[in-house]
A and B are shown apart, each in its own frame.
Chain A
Amino acid sequence: MSLPLIGVIDHGAGNLVSITQGLERAGARVRTVTEPGGLGGIEGVVLPGVGVPGMAMARLLDSGLASSLARWESPLLGICVGLQLFFESSDEDRKPCLGVDAGIVRRLQDAPLLPHIGWNDLDYPVKRGRRDPIFSGIKPQAPFYFVHSYAPVPRDRSIVIAYARYRSRFVAAIRSGSRIGVQFHPERSGTAGLRLLSNFVSETGRFHARRQAGETSS
């Protein structure tokens, strides 16, 4: 199996250096993608995000990447604002987002102080007795680094694969098919975060191996 080619979406702001490095350490080849043409041959996409969703969304619409991402069917990992963009809109600026997942991004309720900055635990809803495979090999008590004031409120709660608590519980990670989103920053979360990026690379590799096997047998 060849090394998966991962595209990291560049929408103008944010730290792509640590994400790229984390994916490369996991054995991926990485390409920075700024327009839809850059997605050719890409097997998995990472959509990072710093800033406000409306600003990131405007750049994705300008470059034409918004519609490519909305149609994307291979593995996709949204980080922080990248995750928030999956939903219909955010209370932060009330502009429409990609809307591939039903729900709204809302300000954290009852937070002692905002932004919520720092390392916090994840709380995993148990499904068929195990956690989502994106957390494979990560200690259940390992904290992840958050820096945000908003989090998604999905209409379909069954897509939630991790919660976190900052007085009130909020959604820390979701999966809908091969689309995964995390509110924390795996690229800043030490060895646990690197393992998550590595799990995404492996999942991308397996996804395309299965797809190829399917094409051969049919």
Chain B
Amino acid sequence: MAAVNDVVIKIATVNGTGSASANGLLRKAIFRMGVPVVGKNYFPSNIQGLPTWYEIRVTGADYRCRSDRVDVMVAMNAQTYAKDLADVEPGGCLIYDSTWPRSTLLNREDITIIGIPLSKMCNEHFEGARARILMKNIAYVGVIAALLDVDLDLIKSLLEETFATKQHLIASNMEAIHLGFDYASKSFPCPLPAHVEKMDATKGHIVIDGNTAAGLGCLYAGATVGAWYPITPSTSLMDAFRTFCARYRVDPETGKRTYCIIQAEDELAAIGMVLGASWNGARSFTPTSGPGISLMSELIGFAYYAEIPAVLYNVQRTGPSTGMPTRTQQCDLLSCAYASHGDTKHVLLFPADPAECFYMSPQAFDLAERLQTPVMVLTDLDIGMNDWMVPELEWDESYIPDRGKVYGAEDLEKMENFYRYLDVDGDGIPYRTLPGVHPKGAYFTRGSGHTKLGAYTENSADYKEVVDRLLVKWETARTMVPEAEIRYSKFNKAAILTLGSCDGACKEALDRLKAHNVGLNYCRVKAFPFTEAVREFIDQHEVVYVVEQNRDAQLRMLLVNDIDADQKKLVPLLHYDGMPINAGFVVDGVLEEIAKGRAA
């Protein structure tokens, strides 16, 4: 049931009609009232004309995941009207454009249906087809502002910020806001019982998407070469990096850039460029999604074996194959963990929200250069493209990039000979050199069998020595990756183990399960390989619900594979319909298992 500051608004429109800015305006106004919000965009793989939805969860309790209900539906799309009507929670309300009559067949007695002649009003007040369509979007924001008591002054100040250089647009947008606001206020009892009230819960926070935060993270990590091939839902990551670079990496006097973004001909080339640049000493990265990883696999294996740093972002989307490009999943865990032929395994990082996308970016570069191997940051469409409230990002001025074990000209000058793949320190990580630094540093980088001295080999013992040393490096990686988030009270026999964007749904589920007298411990892994603490966590429980967003329980498989976890204990709870996971799914799943006799 909706309540004050616990309301879910869903806006159904047609894509390409400019509704995104209206929806953003509403979401921001509520955020500025000090009330936490979650913004989710459900959009088609299309540019214009298909149904799209934006969902604003007003959550005074500060939950971070999608809700499982709709309290206020703004049904602006005739194509989806019937479904949108059906989706409204009993007791909720639906707003529609009453300029045109609604079929009497489409009615519900258990909700309030509010007709507002949005098109008619906008046609009377504005000139030009485009303006009328855009203003209709702004007008429904006015309607919701009236119904939910959203502060009009805040809306006005947001418009003033947006249109600082186009003053006339502030007035016309406010006019549209008032068209909706005044009509609703006059015709219906406003505000609704479940409305928005000012709080003080968003101070020190921002609302940002993961791709923007990751792009910003790459800027702060000191990345200079970005190579990519456009693919939904990762594209906006490079767009963000480009925007930040244009602002902070261009010499104001000469116009010269301290970054190089290359739009590759395909993902095979994108990863090739990253390897070339990293080999040559630049911090380099590529954002992609599942199909891109498939294409990059050969060179990812090369980087693993030739020991070249590389940072990849996989903003996962629904597979297999082309799948549903604008829907979310965590379906590339296995394909990333073991990308490429032969014995390979790769370090993965699992940010849970945009803030972690930012902080894990310098970490990813540090790990890639320290370990001389590809590091993949696995986010997903939900994190990458949706609007998340997170604490304001902070930068530690004392940060110094970890460039790893690199011999410079002075080191080389003193050495008799340099050999590329010697395990000098016993941690499985050899020393490397950069081209163009010193003649003694020269070596031959190859994906063919090589000895620890870097020479070509077909000798069994020499070959094995190198691939076995890579296993030593893997164990070193285990000690270097970010530690899991663990919430542990030893009285619980059962626990939830999850990763990435499942975090918000699982934490909300833990709260809700308490009401059912079910107490569970919690572990969110942040990286692969799994740390020792993850192994201990699993050991200490009788049942571990492994919550993830794919069909085949890929996280569970990785746990079994990497740390030999007892698979009988690991109960999969799998959400894979392409929509972001919500708390209700986790609660229902756990309760069902308990009903079957599973320990709680």
A-B complex is real: no
Chain B residues within 8 Å of A, Cβ to Cβ? none
Chain A residues within 8 Å of B, Cβ to Cβ? none
